[in-house]
């Protein structure tokens, strides 16, 4: 299977991108140089900044100090660079404190400014309407969006595998009930379902409870496809002689399913999971974009895009739309990788 996957160039590229994204998610706080929650009224809607690499013929990366002016005619805030003040940008600078992997307390970030606080001087991708650095928010938001997909896929994987296996193994009335439930779930249009369920979440809940509820909602709808596929595979395995042999030596159904049947579908399950992840990610993004999923102060790609929902953002502050790019890239990368995995696992499908 590995050899067939490696032959699939596009899938390998997708895989590398996915790995890169998850690495970024793991080191999100390290990559985010500014505190993503730090408000700054003086730094509202700063456009993306350039980092100049050379200063007087010497290599010395720096940014210029921002000067804020208000346009007297349009009353729009303008930022200009004060070329006389160079703020040096250094690697592995000290910034806001955090815990790496939630374990090791540290305050090292990959870059930062010296002399002035990073939060008010460095804006690689600009800042949002509350003066928070967009790049840092993007990195942290990516982590949220990627992990919400992961947890969701795990839950729906377990549900799909168990219900699919049971349905295919026992057949008869059990199969009938499970399949009708799947049909009912699939018949429900997902968007209105999410709208309804999301509206049912009390607004007083904390960010984390909302996060988990959203994950649960997404995964309880997401297991049906895998259950269907697995049911078919189990039904065909049911007629294999080695399954009969296990039955004849008195093995119970649970053992037969977990020792003989489900392992035979592993590659298929992995492929399905990688194809389900982007769906989960995009559903979270879509929900939050509509303001029904995660809400501020939680940070996710959907929450960030929610802030770019108006015509002003598109016309005047186009950098606010930048979270759309990683969303599209990660979903595409996952789909390419999943397709490759599926082709490798199941060349005849």
Q: Total residues at the site for another protein (CB under 8 A)?
A: 17
Using the rule CB under 8 A, is 249 a contact of another protein?
yes
Specify whether the CB–CB gap between 34 and 96 falls below 8 A: yes
Specify whether the CB–CB gap between 281 and 215 falls below 8 A: no
Neighbours of 116 (CB within 10 A): 16
Specify whether the CB–CB gap between 3 and 339 falls below 8 A: no
Specify whether the CB–CB gap between 138 and 322 falls below 8 A: yes
Nearer to another protein, 106 or 267 (CB): 267
* Minimum separation from the CB atom of position 170 to another protein (A): 12
List 40, 225, 247, 339, residue binding another protein (CB under 8 A): 247
List 7, 242, 312, 328, residue binding another protein (CB under 8 A): 242
User: Of the listed pieces 91-99, 234-242, 295-303, 315-323, which binds another protein according to CB under 8 A?
Assistant: 234-242
Nearer to another protein, 200 or 249 (CB): 249
Site string for another protein, 257-296 (x = CB under 8 A): --xx--xx--------------------------------
* Minimum separation from the CB atom of position 168 to another protein (A): 17
Nearer to another protein, 39 or 244 (CB): 244
**Distance from C-alpha of 328 to C-alpha of 335, rounded to nearest angstrom:** 11
Using the rule CB under 8 A, is 241 a contact of another protein?
yes
DSSP character string of 64-78: EEEEEEE-TTT--EE
CA nearest neighbour of 281 among 331, 213, 349: 331
* Minimum separation from the CB atom of position 244 to another protein (A): 6
**Distance from C-alpha of 327 to C-alpha of 305, rounded to nearest angstrom:** 10
* Minimum separation from the CB atom of position 262 to another protein (A): 10
* Minimum separation from the CB atom of position 243 to another protein (A): 8
Using the rule CB under 8 A, is 1 a contact of another protein?
no
* Minimum separation from the CB atom of position 270 to another protein (A): 14
**Distance from C-alpha of 28 to C-alpha of 109, rounded to nearest angstrom:** 10
DSSP H or E stretch at residue 290: none
Question: 52-55 and 58-70: which strand pairing?
Answer: antiparallel
Which residues of the shown chain bind another protein in the complex (CB under 8 A)? 240-242, 244-252, 255, 259-260, 263-264
């Amino acid at each position: 299977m590995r050899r067939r996957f490696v032959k699939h160039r596009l899938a390998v590229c997708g895989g590398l991108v996915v790995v890169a994204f998850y690495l970024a998610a793991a080191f999100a706080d390290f990559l985010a140089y500014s505190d993503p929650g730090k408000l700054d009224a003086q730094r509202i809607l700063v456009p993306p900044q350039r980092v100049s690499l050379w200063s007087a013929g010497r290599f010395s990366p720096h940014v210029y100090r921002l000067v804020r002016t208000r346009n007297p005619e349009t009353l729009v805030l303008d930022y200009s660079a004060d070329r006389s003040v160079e703020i040096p940008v250094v690697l592995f600078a000290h910034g806001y404190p955090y815990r790496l992997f939630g374990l090791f307390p540290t305050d090292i970030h990959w870059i930062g400014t010296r002399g002035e606080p990073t939060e008010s001087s460095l804006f690689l991708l600009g800042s949002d309407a509350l003066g928070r650095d967009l790049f840092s928010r993007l990195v942290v938001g990516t982590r949220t969006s990627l992990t919400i997909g992961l947890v969701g896929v795990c839950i729906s994987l377990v549900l799909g595998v168990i219900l699919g296996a049971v349905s295919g193994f026992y057949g008869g009335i059990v199969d009938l009930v499970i399949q009708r439930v799947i049909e009912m779930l699939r018949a429900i249009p997902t968007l209105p379902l999410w709208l309804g369920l999301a509206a049912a979440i009390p607004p007083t809940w904390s960010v984390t409870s909302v996060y988990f509820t959203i994950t649960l909602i997404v995964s309880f709808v997401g297991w049906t496809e895998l259950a269907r596929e697995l049911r078919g595979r189990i039904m065909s395995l049911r007629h294999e002689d080695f399954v009969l042999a296990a039955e004849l030596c008195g093995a119970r159904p649970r053992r037969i399913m977990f020792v003989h049947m489900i392992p035979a579908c592993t590659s298929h399950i992995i492929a399905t999971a990688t194809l389900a992840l982007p769906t989960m990610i995009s559903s979270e993004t879509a929900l939050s974009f509509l303001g029904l999923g995660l809400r501020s102060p939680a940070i996710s790609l959907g929450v960030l895009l929610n802030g770019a929902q108006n015509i002003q953002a598109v016309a005047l502050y186009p950098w606010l739309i930048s979270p759309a790019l990683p969303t599209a890239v990660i979903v595409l990368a996952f789909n390419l990788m999943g397709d490759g995995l599926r082709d490798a696992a199941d060349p005849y499908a």
